[in-house]
Amino acid sequence: MEALVLSITLFVLATFLGVELIHRIPTTLHTPLMSGANAISGITIVGALVVAGGGFGWISWAFGVSAVVFAMMNVVGGYTVTDRMLEMFTKKPEAK
């Protein structure tokens, strides 16, 4: 039970941190930011790997490996697509 509260504590702190991290974002960055955050939500890959590697027979097989495929698509696709979108911002260095 204490472990649960600890987990909740982490959850709460991370939630606050997420809120604070996002400030006045120019609209042009909305989609990349969304996409970048989506890539992070691919962290489920860790869960997928745990399940797939847990050795629970068909569950690992059917659920685990397909979860791994899905999650990997999310992760790799997510980061790549975000990077592509962000390319355009590195073109012109800001003159100040």
The binding site for its own copies (CB under 8 A) comprises 6, 9-10, 13-14, 16-17, 20-21, 23
Q: How far is CA 19 from the centre of its chain?
A: 16
Minimum distance of its own copies from residue 19's CB (angstroms): 9
Q: How many residues are listed for the chain in this entry?
A: 96
- Of 18, 47, 44, 46, the C-alpha closest to 33 is 18
Binding at 77: pick from another protein, its own copies, none (beta carbon under 5-8 Å per type)? another protein
Minimum distance of another protein from residue 57's CB (angstroms): 8
The CA–CA distances, whole Å, from 36 to 74, 77, 85, 95 equal: 11, 10, 10, 27
Binding at 66: pick from another protein, its own copies, none (beta carbon under 5-8 Å per type)? another protein
Minimum distance of another protein from residue 28's CB (angstroms): 5
